[in-house]
């Protein structure tokens, strides 16, 4: 997926400050010609600068209008715990599930029984919570830590997911607009959710009614891609929302 690969290029350049075309080609396991085309497009978009076979990112504040994780965690905590409790009914022994870095999924992680499941996540707080369990096999995306969001950014996410058959992706979002588009306040988190939404057998969106008819900084996908929605009032097939 070109968009994911180009975001991976930007992430690598942020981390390393400057890289050659050859280094990017080796890191992402694609041809140098593909990297050159990507860099050309990214330069046109004003995201990178190229000079003598090297590229560097144009430093600007990454769009992220969301509150820090510790603020989100303490907001509407009773409602989030209730929504998370409903989501537990979808999790069965032997499953491979993925959790995003939302505070609602953190409440879910706190309530997860210590059963034989695999959990993949990019959330630092969820890793800390599930690291205490003996029977849950925890797989962390790893990468650069974004402290504000409490999440890891890994440009090799797609390669990392190749050996995993994710049965259920559980996530939240900043809003759903009138057309059914799902939005996030962070481009970094939106990319993670978009990839998992497409690669998982089923998906579960945890959301409250205040997020209906709202948008954000970055698109995740569309409500039609979601298998089920839990709003705290009732469980809903996404097709009828």
The answer to whether residue 64 sits within a structural domain is: no
Q: Which domain holds residue 83?
A: 69-240
The answer on pLDDT for 166 being more than 70 is: yes
Tell me the average pLDDT across 115-128. Answer: 97
DSSP 68: P
Place of tokens 């990507």: 38
Q: What is the pLDDT of residue 233?
A: 61
The answer on pLDDT for 63 being more than 70 is: no
The answer to whether residue 102 sits within a structural domain is: yes
CATH number at residue 52: 1.10.10.10
> Which of 94-103, 176-185, 209-218 is predicted least confidently?
209-218
Q: What is the pLDDT of residue 60?
A: 47
Domain identity same for 107 and 49: no
Q: What is the pLDDT of residue 61?
A: 44
Tell me the average pLDDT across 218-232. Answer: 92
Give bridge partners of residue 186 from the DSSP assignment: 64
As for how many domains the chain has, the answer is 2
Domain identity same for 99 and 52: no
**What confidence tier does 85 reach under pLDDT thresholds 50, 70, 90?**
very high
The answer on pLDDT for 168 being more than 60 is: yes
Please report, rounded to a whole number, the percentage of residues in the chain having pLDDT higher than 90. 52
Cα angle 29-34-35, degrees, rounded to a multiple of 5: 75
Domain identity same for 18 and 127: no
The answer to whether residue 39 sits within a structural domain is: yes
What CA dihedral angle connects 119, 30, 15 and 49, to 10 degrees?
Answer: -140
Domain identity same for 29 and 141: no
- Phi/psi-derived region of residue 180, left when phi > 0, alpha when psi is between -120 and 50, beta in every other case: left
Q: What is the pLDDT of residue 215?
A: 79
The answer on pLDDT for 79 being more than 80 is: no
227 to 76, 122, 166, 202, 224: CA distances (angstroms) = 24, 21, 14, 6, 8
The answer to whether residue 104 sits within a structural domain is: yes
Q: What is the pLDDT of residue 67?
A: 62
Domain identity same for 43 and 158: no
The answer on pLDDT for 149 being more than 90 is: no
151 to 68, 95, 126, 172, 238: CA distances (angstroms) = 11, 23, 9, 14, 27
The answer to whether residue 62 sits within a structural domain is: no
> Which of 5-19, 47-61, 96-110, 121-135 is predicted least confidently?
47-61
The answer on pLDDT for 145 being more than 70 is: yes
Tell me the average pLDDT across 168-197. Answer: 91
Q: What is the pLDDT of residue 222?
A: 95
Domain identity same for 125 and 155: yes
The answer to whether residue 189 sits within a structural domain is: yes
Domain identity same for 47 and 87: no
Domain identity same for 125 and 33: no
Domain identity same for 32 and 90: no
Domain identity same for 53 and 123: no
**What confidence tier does 42 reach under pLDDT thresholds 50, 70, 90?**
confident
- Average pLDDT across the chain, whole number: 86
Tell me the average pLDDT across 90-116. Answer: 96
The answer to whether residue 234 sits within a structural domain is: yes
Tell me the average pLDDT across 96-118. Answer: 95
Q: What is the pLDDT of residue 241?
A: 46
Tell me the average pLDDT across 136-140. Answer: 97
- Predicted TM-score (pTM) of this structure: 0.70
């Amino acid at each position: 997926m070109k968009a994911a690969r180009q975001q991976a290029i930007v992430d690598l350049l942020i981390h390393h400050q400057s890289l050659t075309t050859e280094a990017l080609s080796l890191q992402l396991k694609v041809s140098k010609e593909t990297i050159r085309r990507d860099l050309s497009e990214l330069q046109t978009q004003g995201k990178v600068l190229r000079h003598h076979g090297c590229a560097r990112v144009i430093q600007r504040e990454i769009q992220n209008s969301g509150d820090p994780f510790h603020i989100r965690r303490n907001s509407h905590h009773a409602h989030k715990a209730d929504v998370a409790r409903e989501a537990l009914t979808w999790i069965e022994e032997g499953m491979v599930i993925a959790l995003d870095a939302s505070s609602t999924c953190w409440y879910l992680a706190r309530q997860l029984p210590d059963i034989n499941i695999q959990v993949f996540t990019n959330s630092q707080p969820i890793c800390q919570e599930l690291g205490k369990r003996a029977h849950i096999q925890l797989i962390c995306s790893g990468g650069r830590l974004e402290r504000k969001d409490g999440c890891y950014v890994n440009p090799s996410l797609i390669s990392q997911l190749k050996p995993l058959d994710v049965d259920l992706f559980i996530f939240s979002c900043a809003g759903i607009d009138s057309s059914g588009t799902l939005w996030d306040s962070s481009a970094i988190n939106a990319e993670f959710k978009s990839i998992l939404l497409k690669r998982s057998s089923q998906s579960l969106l945890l959301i409250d009614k205040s997020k209906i008819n709202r948008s954000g900084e970055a698109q995740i996908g569309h409500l039609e891609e979601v298998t089920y929605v839990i709003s705290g009032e009732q469980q809903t097939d996404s097709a009828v929302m």
